[in-house]
Amino acid sequence: MSAEAAAQPTPPDADASPELRAALLDTMRAMGAAHLNVGTAGNASVRLPSPACMLITPSGLPAERSRPEDMAVVGTDGNWHGLFAPSSEWQLHRDIYAAFPDAGAILHAHAPFATALACQRIDIPPFHYMIARFGGSTVRCARYATFGTQALSDAAIAALHGRSACLLANHGMVVFGRDLQHALALAIEFETLCEQYWRTLQLGPPVLLSAEEMAEIIERFRWYGKPRG
């Protein structure tokens, strides 16, 4: 299917409440306040029931000039409804939702330190135990692909296997969480971790945690921050 989403006269699903639209816009503005994005860079989405797939931020519209009603509803077939076309990365979001059932919200950003590392096309090794926060002993960098293409989706999904965050080569970061609040918290944590790694590299090669040490930490993170029950 073409990467170009197609407009349609009626929404593919009515389950995009004003409250959810406002929450998505608030998240995009919070990304700017946290210095994850500048201008029209980056995008965010939240999962909707099929066939709607997602509510996503509009293309080329700064968050400070956007309104809740400007958020676009996109179906699994790429059809969309809204006042503005969806983000040019709508396909990346749609494919991540399809590949990872636990993804309730997705954030993509050109955050400074994540992007600096992504431009070096390097994975982030276990220099700090908080790497485990994202699902494994490393955070991978996806291979380079042009924005808005199927190739980028495929590369990101491969890098996200067993993870909730990855770098996109020469591009930025992508993070998913169970909801918008969780995804935003993870994105801020990830950018902080990228900054720490960047600063560590200025001192020389970091001392890495061992496979055994990371395995213990990953096990501890299985219940970290999760409700009892």
* Packing angle of the helix pair 180-203, 112-119 (nearest 10 deg): 60
8 Å CB contact between 190 and 132: no
Q: Which of 19, 89, 212, 216 is catalytic?
A: 89
* Packing angle of the helix pair 150-160, 90-99 (nearest 10 deg): 40
DSSP for 160-219 reads HTT-SEEEETTTEEEEEESSHHHHHHHHHHHHHHHHHHHHHHHHSSPPPPPHHHHHHHHH
Q: Cα dist. 122→5, 22, 78, 128, 172 in Å?
A: 32, 36, 32, 16, 12
Longest Cα separation, the chain: 57
> Which amino acid is it at 151?
A
Rounded Cα distance, 145 and 136, in Å? 24
The question of whether 89 is a catalytic residue gets the answer yes
C-alpha dihedral (180, 182, 183, 184), degrees to nearest 10: 80
Q: Residue 6: which of 83, 65, 85 has the closest Cα?
A: 85
Q: Tell me which residues are annotated as active site.
A: 89
